[in-house]
């Protein structure tokens, strides 16, 4: 009998066709059973974050039943056991993007789905319904606060941080509309000064310390003055009065001298005190000369003056007593 390729192919495909179809269906059912019987479920806490439009802030986020969410969310996952074993859960994140526009405080309902997770193919996620309490951000200017407490670390041995000052008095921020009126200042980020021994200027971010959800729109430059550790000198000086030209009276000063504690770099103190008149104590009359009359008495603050320019920026003076009593005397009496 002559062999026919076409006849052989017809026999292979159509002989016992029903039996072959049944076998194929059974194989498909068996494969489905094996796959799905090996599926497993697990619930994991995953880091959670919202991506918001730039003019919106979040007041709170909660699950549909009311549980408040912070920085993690519990998610129910379904996958094969082999898939679960291959997932690095330490790197799984949930990022949900909010696109809603609001004009005032508003609560919206959102659904977190698989698309919000960086999970491999083959892992399914049970959708999660959440409620997000949103509030618009408003722009305003607030004061920048900088202080010695904002320094991180310690300067080089033998040096000290003398001052920390923002070069801008105010900065623009966005604050949630519900708290904007109560926000009046922001603070600089910590400034590293470890091992430093020189004056420097650095750019840094600002933040609020009240948890108001402020968004800073600008950075600020901060001036940091670092000087050698201060030395000190304690001296006693007479109180000096420079009478205005044409002043027709005498004065009587009580007390006539005061103790002064000077603090600053050793070289500056040595330089000031090495020459006569390097440091003087004086006071100023509160009225023009033509309005002062004999018999008047004033309590006036003492001022410490340095003969050399620039030293008032690095040397401080503490005077005791800090003020004197000045009595205006007739001409020829007292000290003129």
Strand partners, 260: 235, 319
Same domain for 24 and 99? no
* Cβ–Cβ < 8 Å for 97, 58: no
Residue 12 sits at φ, ψ, to 5 deg, of -65, -40
* Cβ–Cβ < 8 Å for 281, 236: no
Range 209-220 average pLDDT: 82
Classify residue 322 as left (phi > 0), alpha (psi -120 to 50) or beta: alpha
Angle, CA of 109, 112 and 115, to the nearest 5°: 140
Same domain for 169 and 214? yes
Same domain for 221 and 301? no
- The closest of 236, 151, 233, 231 to 194, measured between CA atoms, is 151
How far does CA 271 lie from the centroid of its chain?
A: 41
Helix H or strand E encompassing 96: strand 94-97
Q: For residue 315, what is the domain's CATH number?
A: 2.170.120.30
In a domain, residue 268? The reply is yes
Point out the least confidently predicted range of 109-113, 207-211, 257-261. 207-211
Q: How far is CA 88 from CA 83, 116, 120, 280, in A?
A: 10, 17, 10, 74
Q: What is the pLDDT of residue 157?
A: 85
Last residue of a domain, one of 173, 204, 228: 228
In a domain, residue 204? The reply is yes
In a domain, residue 217? The reply is yes
In a domain, residue 335? The reply is no
Q: What is the pLDDT of residue 2?
A: 55
Q: Is the dihedral of CA 24, 25, 26, 29 positive or negative?
A: positive
Q: For residue 197, what is the domain's CATH number?
A: 2.170.120
Q: How many CA atoms lie within 13 A of 1 on its CB side?
A: 5
Listed in sequence order, the DSSP H helices in the chain are: 5-14, 17-37, 81-86, 266-273
pLDDT tens per residue, range 126-140: 999 999 999 998 889
Same domain for 322 and 274? yes
Domain that holds residue 22: 5-36
In a domain, residue 336? The reply is no
Residues 6+ apart with CB under 8 A from 265: 227, 228, 230, 231, 314, 315
Q: Residue 221 above 80 pLDDT?
A: yes
- The closest of 29, 32, 12, 31 to 20, measured between CA atoms, is 12
* Cβ–Cβ < 8 Å for 112, 130: yes
Same domain for 150 and 133? no
Same domain for 260 and 176? no
pLDDT tens per residue, range 308-326: 888 888 888 999 999 999 9
Count of structural domains within the chain: 4
Same domain for 207 and 257? no
* Cβ–Cβ < 8 Å for 185, 214: no
Point out the least confidently predicted range of 66-70, 76-80, 263-267, 289-293. 289-293
Q: Residue 199 above 90 pLDDT?
A: yes
Q: What average pLDDT does the structure give for the chain?
A: 86
């Amino acid at each position: 009998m002559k062999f026919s390729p076409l006849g052989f192919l017809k026999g292979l495909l159509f002989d016992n066709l029903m039996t072959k179809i049944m076998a194929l269906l059974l194989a498909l059912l068996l494969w489905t059973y094996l796959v799905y019987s090996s599926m497993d479920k697990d619930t994991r806490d995953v880091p959670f974050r919202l991506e918001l439009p730039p003019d919106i802030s979040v007041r709170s986020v909660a699950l549909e039943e009311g549980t408040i969410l912070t920085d993690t969310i519990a998610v129910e996952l379904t996958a094969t056991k082999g898939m679960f074993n291959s997932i690095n859960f330490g790197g799984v994140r949930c990022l949900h993007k909010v696109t809603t526009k609001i004009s005032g405080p508003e609560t919206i309902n959102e659904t977190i789905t698989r698309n919000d997770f960086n999970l491999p193919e083959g892992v399914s996620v049970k959708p999660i319904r959440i409620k997000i309490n949103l509030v618009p951000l408003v722009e305003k200017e607030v004061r920048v606060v900088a202080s010695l407490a904002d320094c991180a670390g310690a300067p080089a041995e033998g040096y000290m941080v003398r001052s920390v000052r923002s070069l801008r008095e105010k900065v623009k921020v966005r604050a949630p509309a519900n708290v904007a009126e109560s926000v009046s200042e922001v603070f600089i980020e910590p400034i590293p000064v470890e091992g430093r021994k020189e004056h420097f200027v650095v750019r840094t971010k600002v933040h609020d310390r009240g948890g108001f959800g402020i968004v800073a729109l600008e950075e600020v430059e901060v001036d940091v003055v670092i000087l050698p550790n201060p030395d000190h000198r304690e001296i006693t000086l007479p109180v000096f009065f420079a009478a205005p030209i044409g002043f027709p009276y005498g004065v009587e000063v009580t007390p006539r001298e005061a103790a002064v504690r000077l603090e600053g770099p050793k070289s500056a103190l040595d330089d000031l005190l090495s020459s006569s008149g390097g440091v003087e104590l004086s006071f100023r009359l509160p009225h023009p000369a033509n309005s002062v009359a004999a018999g008047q008495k004033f309590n006036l603050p003492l001022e410490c003056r340095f003969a050399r320019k620039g030293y008032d920026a690095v040397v401080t003076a503490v005077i005791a007593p800090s003020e004197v009593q000045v009595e205006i005397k007739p001409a020829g009496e007292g000290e003129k």
